[in-house]
Amino acid sequence: NLKHSAPLNLKHFLKDDDLTPAQQAEVLDLAAKLKADRYAYPALAGPKSVAVIFEKPSTRTRLSFDVGIAELGGHSVVIDAQSTQLGRGETVADTARVLSRYVSAIVIRTFGDDRIAELAEHATVPVVNALTDGWHPCQLLADLQTIAEHKPLKGTSIAYLGDAAFNMGNSTVIASSLAGMHVRIGAPEGYQPAAEVLERAARINAATGGSVTVTADPVEAVAGADVVSTDAWVSMGMADSAKRFGDLRAYQLNADLLAHAAADAIVLHCLPAHRGEEITDEVIDGPHSRVFDQAENRLHAQKALLAWLLKESA
């Protein structure tokens, strides 16, 4: 990319609802095609070079973007922010301006959503959220792809247990609403999605027919659910683990709780799992678990997303 001004139709993916329901469906459809044939390039000029920057640790996101960009015929530059001048205080805005002169897209994992918003404001290429405190939208594309391998998304219910006030909870609420799913949050007070997130979901659901319910009762959340998902009780960058373990213990996804879900329910977890904390070995290694398909789908979903964003932003 040698253009120094942003294309008029520049698109970023900072949070789940940066895609409309139709656009989300289009990306998921392309992801399924790319899973069936990893080298079935979409009919467009794929990414050339993509910067993939980490301000927090990562295994899946780092590997799946790196491999996926290679499979699209592009080149990835995967960097820990600490090894760049960002780590010495160069501003996010200047970093965005400079990177935009080199690469066709910027993928970043960072802390506050204000940081990625600032990057997007000053970038002239698409910016993709590879996890912030607020959102993990690439993960949800993979989660929805995994669910769609078993059930139609529209009308399917997903229970999400534990910390629902951070990235995975927020993205599960919004991405599932876009897909017309019925979300049941099972989380105690203080760990439930913010009112602003629930209001956004309600606006989306008015159009998609989905819904969100919030309960502090884990059994009520899981009862009859088609999909059951959970995430770490202590996310990257969080302190105060003893309190969180105490507050969230009753929401552990174990065999007793899973017994309340639909007989053919599938279990998701974005990984890394903290076995014996939010999920037991028996459940994550059991017949309902699809967590490794889910991890694989990061690759296909992100390839589809990058191809789509670059096509739209061209």
- Binding region for ligand CP (CB under 6 A): 58-61, 131, 139, 270-272
Q: Is 203 helix (H, G, I), strand (E, B) or coil?
A: helix
- Return the residue nearest ligand NVA (CB atom): 235
Whether residue 168 is annotated as binding a ligand: the answer is no
Least CB distance to ligand CP at residue 270 (A): 4
CB 46 within 8 A of CB 257: no
For residue 59, is it left (φ>0), alpha (ψ between -120 and 50) or beta? alpha
| 60 annotated as a binding-site residue | yes
Backbone angles phi, psi at 239, to 5 degrees: -110, -165
Please count the residues of this chain forming the interface with ligand NVA, following the rule CB under 6 A.
9
Q: Is 203 annotated as a binding residue?
A: no
The answer to whether 100 contacts ligand NVA (rule: CB under 6 A) is no
Stretch that binds ligand NVA, among 160-168, 209-217, 249-257, 277-285 (CB under 6 A): 160-168
Q: Is 137 annotated as a binding residue?
A: yes
14: contact with ligand NVA by CB under 6 A: no
Three-state SS for 65? helix
**Shortest reach from residue 309's CB to ligand CP, in Å:** 19
Contacts of the segment 190-193: beta carbons below 8 A, 24+ positions apart: 190/165, 190/247, 191/162, 191/163, 191/164, 191/165, 191/247, 191/248, 192/164, 192/165, 192/216, 193/164, 193/165, 193/169
Active-site positions? 109, 136, 139, 231, 270, 298
Does residue number 253 form part of the binding site for ligand NVA (CB under 6 A)? no
List the one residue out of 300, 23, 9 whose CA is nearest residue 126.
Answer: 9
Between residue 124 and residue 143, which ones bind ligand NVA under the rule CB under 6 A? 131
How far is CA 209 from each of CA 32, 204, 212, rounded to the nearest angstrom? 24, 8, 10
Look-up of token digits 């970043």: 108
Q: In terms of CB distance, is 180 or 277 closer to ligand CP?
A: 277
Per-residue x/- track, 49-88, ligand NVA (CB under 6 A) = ----------------------------------------
For residues 156 and 183, give the distance between their C-alpha atoms in angstroms, rounded to a whole number: 9
Q: In the set 236, 245, 274, 296, which binds ligand NVA (CB under 6 A)? A: 236
- Is 136 known to sit in a ligand binding site? yes
Residues 6+ apart with CB under 8 A from 88: none
Whether residue 298 is annotated as binding a ligand: the answer is yes
167 binds, among ligand NVA, ligand CP, none (CB under 5 to 8 A by kind): ligand NVA
Residues in Cβ contact with 282 at an 8 Å cutoff, skipping those fewer than 6 apart: 254, 255
Quick one: tokens of 186? Answer: 């099972």
Q: How far is the CB of 88 from ligand CP (least distance, A)?
A: 24
Measured between alpha carbons, how far is 10 from 72 in angstroms, rounded to an integer?
20
Least Å distance, CB 163 to ligand NVA, is 7
Closest contact distance (angstroms) between CB of 94 and ligand CP is 26
Please report, as ranges, the residues that interact with ligand NVA according to CB under 6 A. Answer: 131, 166-168, 231-232, 235-236, 270
Q: Which residues are annotated as a binding site for L-ornithine?
A: 167, 231, 235-236
